[in-house]
Structure 1
Amino acid sequence: MQGDVQARRARWAVAAMFMANGFVMGAWAPQIPLLLPRHGIGESTLGLLILVLGFGAVSAMLFSGRLIARLGGRAVLTIFSLATIPVLPLVVFAPNLWLLTPILVAFGAVVGCMDVAMNAQAVEVERRLHRAIMSSSHGFWSLGGFIGGSAGGFLIAHLGAGQQSLVAAAFAAVLVFGAMPFLLPTTAVAAAAEAPVRHHLLPRDLGLWLLGFMAFFSMVPEGAVLDWAAIYLQKELGSDVFRSGLAFAFFAGAMAVMRFAGDHARNRFGAVRTLRVSGLVGAAGLMGGALAPADWFAIVSFALAGLGVANMVPIMFSAAGNRPGVPSAVGISTVTMVGYSGILVAPASIGYAAEHFGYRPTYATLSLLLVTVALLAAKAADADGLRREEGPVPLPV
């Protein structure tokens, strides 16, 4: 019974960590345009700086699994969640590009390592509770991102960029310090015992890499809606600025709502069926956006796509964390690294495709990526592996 109490407390500690990570990224978003006048740079240089941050995150994800195996999941999550607190003020107060560039690499690295560690902690909690919590954990990330982005813009307008970054750091610190005492104590010894005797920087499990590319296929459409939906609605459907902005707003809102419902669906129907239906719903939404006769139809379609995409990546993270013969942290770091590469690839590649072939064919093609994930849904069966061994799973209270 005491273990159950510890796991339930850890479940909310994990939620707080996800929310803190999402909040910092949300608070960073309204700061991005301010880098242009502050450092006297153009959009192309800004794009390279954003790419540098993403490169830092994806590169760190490659090593984070081994770091967790060496130090233990709780220690790594504690270290990098603490390191995440000051990164936004460091970016905002950087006096020049020579300092800003390595700070952005460090920003991406600490946020990326925290991302892997908190997902690994979520898998541990799932094992202890014998039920899914991954989707709702990502829902707390979305909620944190929404609060950080919306409150961040308000604070910048009324207090200034520097003060906003300090307030964001203080709020993240409250969440992190409040969660740290309740994390599950995953020791380095336990993590090492789970690992194979011989270590490779890149795991040689082809099924794990397939999960990674399924996550990649799921994240590219997310980046396509984030970066290009507003421009698509303005250029091809005649939307004004307000209505075009609703495309991603409804997509993100639908994702957040569905993520909080996703654990119930997984616990009731299983990961494979949930992933299959999610992929088909997401594909239908993107195809509807591609064929939309008017902007309102596209907005509704992108909201439908958000409902479908919401739980796909969390399911694959759970599957990676329960992959037989692969340490949880290594599996999650590999799938996270490959999956998040989709967010980096999406902006440039989709912009090129849209420029040469048009937005409608581009979104229609992206819907096929989600159909592919739906067809491969059985490859994520390890997300339910623990429950198959230990019997039926009670529905969450």
Structure 2
Amino acid sequence: MRSAIVAVLGIFALNGVVFGSWAPRVPALAAQIGAEEGALGLSLLGASIGMIASALLSGSLCARYGAKVMVLISAIAGCVVLPVLGLATSPLQLGLVLVVLGVTVGALDVAMNIAAVTAIRQSGRAIMPVFHAFFSIGGLIGALGAAGAAALALNPLRHLSIVAVIGTAMAIWFARRIPVEDLKPQAAHTGPKKSLVQRPVLWLLGFIALCSSVAEGASVDWSAFFGVHERGIGEASAALIYAGFSICMAIARLLGERIETRWGSQRMLIGGSTIGALGLFIAVLVPAPAFTYIGFALAGMGLAYGFPVALELAGAVGRRADGGGGERELGFVTTIAYSGFLLGPPMIGGIASVTSLPVALGVAAVIAWAMAPLTLLANRARRREQQTRQQAVETATT
């Protein structure tokens, strides 16, 4: 079981490396295609569009072919597509390549989370936040590699080709050890079968993940800008705001198993959303620059659990009597969550342009806190669904 957990951790890290490798090279890619901010922004939307398009379908494919197969295919496909970014010569070409890359990353994201749910079930350990911590660590490794490549004046094609070769080798090595569930042929839910869109618990879990992604995206995209333009912090020092946010998020996720085991997923989500909202409020309401660092560090700690725990619970509510299932449910929740990464940045930017950036980040704080009541509603919907299923079982056996 230990090798299976290590394999899933490795795949999470690989996904982070892929993302962390190309995102910091955006300035070089912009110069390569001669794009200004507006055209570049439209090109970058391609990644989010591809991720949303693939998430729901990926859940069904994992249910049919298994997460192990989908992890291998999507990871290798992502590594193959990655260097193609270095061949783009126009904003349209860059956007189309990012759509394809987004499809592979979205498919891998769903497949690796399904593999993580399998590892959790087989090991009996609440380690979903730990898996997501390794995604953050992978992103940091990818970003450091990108910084090194830029310092050595490697163009994106050469740099991303090196990442692709290493990533492909990692994908093949780790995918072979991904855990596989031993499903019974007749596995199915007992009782009346509902479509995914008819299950309130899935919508609520999706909105929890959505709120988490919007608040996290606002912190990632605007923290340094906020430090420079609202608190008078220098650009180099402002970059440390995001660094502190990311490090605190990674540490909180690494400690997630211990916290979830002691407090449970519901208290974990409610406490995390409260701390995340408090951190953002501190950053925007206290004018001292030191509290900007403190506020975003708290936000990183609090927002660490929303997305991974929502996905863990989505897998749990889709579990069948044979111990399998949850693939389609996890894909459904992920699709809703991804819309937050697509809509969040322009929404925060739009609010900031009409009012101010502190007000916009205050809205992000409210969205972060909204995970608390959504968690209570999701727990109630989950219990109601379990009662309905149990009644159906009792009716069928009498």
Q: TM-score, normalised by structure 2?
A: 0.89
Equivalent residue, structure 1, for 2:179: 184
Give yes or no for the alignment of 1:220 onto 2:214: yes
1:205-241 residue CA offsets vs partner (Å, 9 max, x unmatched): 1110111011111111111111112222222211111
Equivalent residue, structure 2, for 1:109: 103
Match of 1:172 among 167, 174, 195: 167
Equivalent residue, structure 1, for 2:36: 42
**How well do the aligned residues superpose, as a CA RMSD in angstroms?**
2.4
Match of 2:257 among 254, 260, 263: 263
1:35-79 residue CA offsets vs partner (Å, 9 max, x unmatched): 222112211111111111110111100211111122122111121
1:330-363 residue CA offsets vs partner (Å, 9 max, x unmatched): 1111111111211111111101111211122222
Give yes or no for the alignment of 1:328 onto 2:323: no
* Contact persistence 2:279–2:296 (CA under 8 A): yes
1:278-304 residue CA offsets vs partner (Å, 9 max, x unmatched): 111111101101112122211111001
* Contact persistence 1:69–1:192 (CA under 8 A): no
Equivalent residue, structure 1, for 2:22: 28
Q: Give, in angstroms, the shift of residue 197 of structure 1.
A: 10
Partner Cα separation in structure 1 for residue 202 and residue 92 of structure 2: 38
Counterpart AA for 1:215: A
* Contact persistence 1:286–1:301 (CA under 8 A): yes
Partner Cα separation in structure 1 for residue 228 and residue 187 of structure 2: 55
Counterpart AA for 1:354: A
Give yes or no for the alignment of 1:315 onto 2:309: yes
Equivalent residue, structure 1, for 2:267: 273
* Contact persistence 2:34–2:90 (CA under 8 A): no
* Contact persistence 1:85–1:169 (CA under 8 A): yes
Partner Cα separation in structure 1 for residue 169 and residue 66 of structure 2: 23
1:135-172 residue CA offsets vs partner (Å, 9 max, x unmatched): 01000000000010112121132133222112211221
Deviates more, 1:371-380 or 1:246-255: 371-380
Counterpart AA for 1:169: A
Q: Percent identity?
A: 33
Give yes or no for the alignment of 1:126 onto 2:120: yes
* Contact persistence 1:73–1:186 (CA under 8 A): no
1:74-100 residue CA offsets vs partner (Å, 9 max, x unmatched): 111121111111221011123455543
Aligned residues: 378
Deviates more, 1:27-36 or 1:210-219: 27-36
1:85–1:201 distance in 2 versus 1, CA, 3 Å = farther
Partner Cα separation in structure 1 for residue 296 and residue 38 of structure 2: 28
Counterpart AA for 1:193: A
1:356–1:99 distance in 2 versus 1, CA, 3 Å = closer
1:205–1:94 distance in 2 versus 1, CA, 3 Å = same
Instruction: Return 5+ residue gaps in structure 2 as ranges.
Output: 384-398
Partner Cα separation in structure 2 for residue 306 and residue 276 of structure 1: 15
Match of 2:146 among 145, 148, 152: 152
1:141–1:196 distance in 2 versus 1, CA, 3 Å = farther
Partner Cα separation in structure 1 for residue 220 and residue 46 of structure 2: 19
Q: Give, in angstroms, the shift of residue 24 of structure 1.
A: 0.3
* Contact persistence 1:63–1:201 (CA under 8 A): no
Instruction: Return 5+ residue gaps in structure 1 as ranges.
Output: 1-6, 386-397
Match of 1:370 among 368, 371, 375: 368
Q: Aligned to 2:187, what secondary structure does the other structure show?
A: helix
Q: Give, in angstroms, the shift of residue 196 of structure 1.
A: 8.4
